[in-house]
Structure 1
């Protein structure tokens, strides 16, 4: 009895050992198979090839099919002093003017103009090095002198940005751009100047230029230059005093900006920039009904300059908010400029990867 039990026990033990050895051999075979290079595995040579191909097409614009939406808030303040004079000619005893005059009243009144602009800028990557963009501004203006207020659509604009050469670290990056601005806002040449304020320029504008930047870690240098052609406006019928405005030939403009950005950390950056522009003289064609004559009135060329300081703060891993403060350096420039730029997450409307 004992001998039979021992033989059965030894047989079961041998079977267990054989099964364990078989499982171990099967596991080793699976491990060996897993470590063997498969047809769909990427080897070192293929990985390096993909890296080099990506480096050959590395651009700083949006990738093909990429979409970005930004919200911008801008505030500008113009302050001035307006002098109202009441001058009466001096009369002799016969009631005839003597050629001299007397100031009866002189009133100095402060004039302030406040402009609030909420705009949405949408960009779409048509190609890796070609981006299309559009800007939709909503304008609110208030004039303290005339006590006028307006809420209207501003001038819609479209932009094309093209980067001919890929971005190479350590080298200067160049981007060419062109834009078209439409006269969708309330034109200053169509409104009643005594009862309304304008929200647009009143004419079409075509512009083109070049922007360049260079990274010198932790500093980024940038500059931009552009030229704008302003299309003349004809067929107007705006009353200005005793005359009627018929045509406006706005002067073309030349703009230049330059500055730098400094990264304080991964989450905070500072930038300073200067923006200057030169506007050529503008010619107005005025018709006087009483005389039946058309006369030209020319306003001289203008120069403007703005200094801007901006703070960029990373509020989330994918979101950077920019706050800027600026001031005008010439008489025709805004006295105070405030701005906020914030990207809007539209991940849900982006095309799927690989499209």
Structure 2
């Protein structure tokens, strides 16, 4: 694969003269460039890469509910209710990757999810100055995924490196269906909240996509486009009511796209800026003897701007950090990632 001279270490190309012939030998990219390929594209290294990581995300949502009417277009007569949900999600995962050939790479991701969500609602003891509050915690394995990357076109001076990506996600985490609700009505409040939290989607899903990366001295630019299809699944209970209500769930498929640039500042350090956007389509549920029901509010637009950096501790171990800032209402307010890939 050819890249610009700025993407290599200072002794990137070595020339060896043999008689009247001159042989040009290409050296391996610097560690900082390899880190960018690994995190934003695919490295296709013949060494096993094990990448433990931790991700923390925080979001809060407030919803104002009005039940009444406006008098003289200014005075509200009726009930006023404000609900707030604060969510903390910490994910510990092990991502393992291995390049079977210089064109084919396989990966396995095993996550463990810890969630803590606080629910608040104004109206305790029918007062507009007192809050009801409840916190729910959950810790369990998440959805395990298997990925496959195939290099369609190697990079040249005219075209980027193009890779096709395929993935399968198994519903190994706790699904979100049939979770019962709890109320604090007996304490004078009006808060309803779940008794447990999910750590997975509960359905099998397959994904495909394409990514491209081009080295433009001194920068590296990359972009990706993908589609995720969720397979319809049947459950014994899809309602939070006391009685079981079996049905089928078809989670909304999603389309994602992203682009960004990275700078290999030296042989060990690189910085990156990127933006990713995902549109999640509306979900549907079907119960026996009833028509398909679209879940109102289940579609979402998730836009995230990320600032990242990698630093190579040595030839086999690196430190990767990333700060994501949500730019849409459906995205997490903030997301912080810390990873440490090392090669065997």
Fold-level similarity (TM above 0.5): yes
- Tell whether 2:271 aligns with 1:270: yes
User: Which residue pairs with 1:192 in the alignment?
Assistant: 180
Residue pair 1:185, 1:201 contacting (<8 A) in 2 also: yes
Q: CA deviation at 1:295?
A: 6.4
Equivalent residues of 2:155, 2:214 under 8 A apart: no
Please say which of residues 148-157 and 257-266 is displaced more in the overlay.
257-266
2:162 to 174, 183, 191: 174
2:300 matches 1:299: no
Cα distance, 1:83 vs structure 2 = 4.3
Residue equivalent to 2:43: 61
Q: For residue 238 of structure 1, report the CA deviation from its aligned partner.
A: 3.1
Per-residue CA shift, 1:57-79, capped at 9, x if unaligned?
xx973344x21111121111111
Report the more deviating stretch, 293-302 or 158-167.
293-302
Q: Distance in 1 between matches of 2:102 and 2:148?
A: 13
Residues 245, 284 of structure 1: 8 Å contact kept: no
CA distance in 2 between counterparts of 1:205 and 1:340 reads 26
Higher CA-based Rg: 1
Instruction: State whether structure 2 residue 190 is matched by structure 1 residue 202.
Output: no
2:149 to 161, 164, 170: 161
Residue 229 of structure 2 is matched in structure 1 by 229
1:1-355 to 2 correspondences below 5 Å: 44=18, 61-64=43-46, 66-83=47-64, 103=78, 106-145=80-119, 146-168=134-156, 171-193=159-181, 194-241=194-241, 244=245, 246-286=247-287, 296-299=293-296, 301-345=299-343, 347=344
Mapped to 2, the partners of 1:149 and 1:293 lie a distance apart of: 34
2:316 and 2:98 map into 1 onto residues whose CA distance is: 18
Of Structure 1 and Structure 2, the greater helix share is in: 1
Unmatched 5+ stretches in structure 1: 1-41, 88-100, 348-355
Whether the 8 Å CA contact 1:62–1:129 is kept in 2: the answer is yes
* Long gaps (5+) in structure 2: 1-15, 29-36, 69-75, 120-133, 182-193
Using the alignment, how far apart are the partners of 1:279 and 1:285 within structure 2? Answer: 19
Partner SS for 1:299: coil
Aligned length: 280
Normalising to structure 1: TM-score of the pair? 0.70
- Asked whether the 8 Å contact 1:113–1:143 carries over to 2, the reply is yes
Instruction: Give the conservation status (yes or no) of the 8 Å contact 2:180–2:241.
Output: no
CA contact (8 A) 1:61 1:163 kept: no
**What's the CA shift for 1:258?**
0.4
C-alpha displacement of 1:277: 1.0
1:245–1:330 CA distance, 2 compared to 1 (3 A): farther
Question: SS of 2:341's equivalent?
Answer: strand
Indicate the structure whose relative CO is greater, using CA pairs within 8 Å and at least 6 residues apart: 2
Tell me which stretches of 4 or more aligned residues in structure 1 moved more than 6 Å: 47-50, 84-87
Q: TM-score with structure 2 length normalisation?
A: 0.73
Indicate how the Cα distance of structure 1 residues 168 and 293 shifts in structure 2: closer, same or farther if over 3 A, else same.
closer
Describe the superposition over 1:178-214 as per-residue Cα deviations: whole angstroms up to 9, x where unpaired. Answer: 0001110000014435210000011111111110000
In 2, Cα distance between equivalents of 1:167 and 1:263: 18
Return the offset for 1:86: 8.0
| CA 50–128 in structure 1, closer or farther in 2 if over 3 Å, else same | farther
